[in-house]
Structure 1
């Protein structure tokens, strides 16, 4: 693993959680951070692995998912630049709860568990800072549960497409890689239902479909659909 560069430190500084921490905690994390790279589809860790530390995405996108006994993958979320993950096992010292794969080629910032234990033993008030990181994820989960209960299937698909576009779209447009099964998993729909809704949105010229790709053509119309 390599030391992180000044440019990479700047990326981390843009994150909502990190930017709100005090100077001492920021300096500690950056001084103990290492940089590692993964190729697309390579695993970072799997469910049941031991806790080794926390991570932040410097470039690219990682995919967090679970896999059933018969090998079916359920995608929970995608994580992109400046966002941190892996903090759950910091609290309970348990095993990793889900699988994390590189969705694209990725570069990650890694802060090892031993350094975090040293920090929290010496400065226990920083537990609250990591608790805030965990709480942010909990808020997202509650919002997702509320959407599942209150929004129609078409609205859930439209909202998820807008979220994914913001996180995954290429810098030169509104196109991102996504399989219909991944979309179905994240919206609690069957693949067939997700497919029908995507075709309907494409017919309305709100999106354009390609092989495992989606392009947003009319963002304002999708936003209006979500708010109906």
Structure 2
């Protein structure tokens, strides 16, 4: 897959703008003080990313904190065996890239724009300046990494306790409900990607998706998927 670079298109985000409203879908960002929001936005840049372009690569040095403004970002990781292990999809309002900024470690995963995507980037130097010199910012960043850790632990618990049918139903519901402004949008997901997220084989995933399609819960066509009966999927996810 060819990797292309994202393009910086503007600096800052105006208060009250549509982009600011997208960021406030994040409970973490919405809870920040007005002064800290303004500080973050004044230091940030907006980048437009072509579909399938790399925002950053696994093993790269930290390059800042990011938030999705539109489109979709996928965090992808390959195990030492070479097995593909895509593990997270991010939509508008989601923040990512914090861990490497906090501990100065190389990036653990590739961050790839899956469709045409716009992201907000708080560059590395700006992040570090805020983290070192602003106690409110430092407390906020620690709160965000704790929130992310709780989410990750919750996903791990689900993967190890729920049956594959429930896991896949939960994944489809989560991904289909991330952008309320774009209800009904088809998800661009391969069976391989869903299998990696659920931690099950591709064969098992294909069998379950076929069942969901046959019973009218979802529709699938040419690598795209849409949820038709969220209520019944939710019953399966919670079983």
- Judge same fold: TM > 0.5, yes or no: yes
Query: 1:25, CA displacement in angstroms?
Result: 1.5
Residue 177 (structure 2) aligns with: 166
Question: Does the residue aligned with 2:159 lie in a helix, a strand or coil?
Answer: helix
Q: What is the aligned-residue RMSD (CA, Å)?
A: 1.8
- Please give the per-residue CA displacement for 1:84-130, whole angstroms capped at 9, x wherever unaligned: 11110121111111100001100111111211222222223532211
**2:5 matched residue in structure 1:** none
CA deviations 1:10-43 (Å, max 9, x no partner) are 3223321111112222111011011111111000
Point out where structure 2 has 5 or more consecutive residues left out of the alignment: 1-7
For residues 44 and 124 of structure 1, the distance between their equivalents in structure 2, rounded to whole angstroms, comes to 29
1:61 aligns with 2:72: yes
3-state SS of the aligned residue for 1:108?
strand
Aligned to 2:4: none
Partner of 2:127: 116
SS at match of 1:50: coil
Question: Alpha-carbon deviation of 1:172?
Answer: 4.9
Match of 1:189 in 2: 200
**Counterpart pick for 1:3 among 8, 11, 21:** 11
Give the corresponding residue for 1:91: 102
> Structure 1 unaligned runs (5+)?
none
Residues 167 and 21 of structure 1, relative CA distance in 2, 3 Å threshold: same
User: What TM-score results when the alignment is normalised by the length of structure 2?
Assistant: 0.89
Q: Alpha-carbon deviation of 1:75?
A: 0.9
Partner of 1:34: 45
Residue of structure 2 in register with 1:205 after alignment: 216
SS at match of 1:127: helix
